[in-house]
Chain A
Amino acid sequence: MDNVVFHVADVHKSFAGLHALSDIDLSVTEGETHAIIGPNGAGKSTLLNVCIGRLKPDSGSVVFDGNTLTGKKPHEINQLGVVRVFQTPEIFPDLTLLENVMVPCLAKRDGSFKLNWFKSFRGEKSIRDHAVETLVDVGLESQVGSHASNLSRGDKRRLELAMGLAQKPKLLLLDEPTAGMARHDTNATIDLLKRIKATGMTKVIIEHDMHVVFSLADRISVLAGGRIIAQGTPDEVKGNPKVVEAYLGEEQV
């Protein structure tokens, strides 16, 4: 396989004897959009939490771009260019949309800490412009100045996405990016993600919506009972009887 940038090697994780993840082995090549699918409770979110440093695996390692992510702190992982978009919107409710997106931009530019207390935040012209651009990309341009707590749930998800995208990540981890969105918003998000894909950003997507998965993914890993039961291109996965049995059978794709 050419140019693997993200590698999850032999990861195990159990909670009080329950095997949430076992023998997870996953390689993502540069520029690839890799989807992880699986029924509820298959361990998808646990896997993402392991990747992002929220959970520590019992064994195994996660490597991105030559750096081992296991054991690193969340902000260190982010500074390496691995950005996660959360499923339940984790935004800054007391800040405006513009500020919500400018803050991650500053993390990208200034690193994990900088004591620039004498500069003007509003005077950060290039950061501001970039943040506005990103908000336009996700379709929130009309609400730039309003407080994030006033947004609808779907709009919060889009803001969450904008906060991730604004950092121009090397690897974007998306946790059900379209959950809770109306159909036309979902389509808009798919279009946006397709455009991002064209820029060559590497992505790992967890998704329930098969329409989203099959319109975006280059390759798919199917997770069931904490194990990867199938891996391959969308067509390969679709035809895999194990997958049909475990998951797709009930969804009628």
Chain B
Amino acid sequence: MPRILLVEDNEMNRDMLSRRLQRRGYEVLIAVDGQLGVEMAQAELPDLILMDMSLPTIDGWEATRALKAAAATKDIPVIALTAHAMSTDRDKAIEAGCDDYDTKPIELSRLLGKMETLLGQSGGSAGPTQ
């Protein structure tokens, strides 16, 4: 069962996305801000991180840069999630080290496709075992 770290400060987004992923067989860990996201990623070494970019303490770009600079977490795929839909936001996320990018409102099938691609590339199972 792939372990996903969801770093998201919005309570409804956390609740909704974690429940939908759990229903598809993913184990979902939760962090409510950027600093906790980095700490939890270092402690739990999840298979993939879904990173909101507008976060308290440190934002998603800084958190991603920290994760990609650390040997233990640099290979964990990070998908940036943001409600900003400008092309510069995507470029900014990729520059910070994010492996992919998706916009809110989340279209789950699209996001699952990106997750499965990255999980496959990183050597994990491409999707959850149901």
Q: Do A and B come from one complex?
A: no
Chain A positions within 8 Å of B, measured between CB atoms, are: none
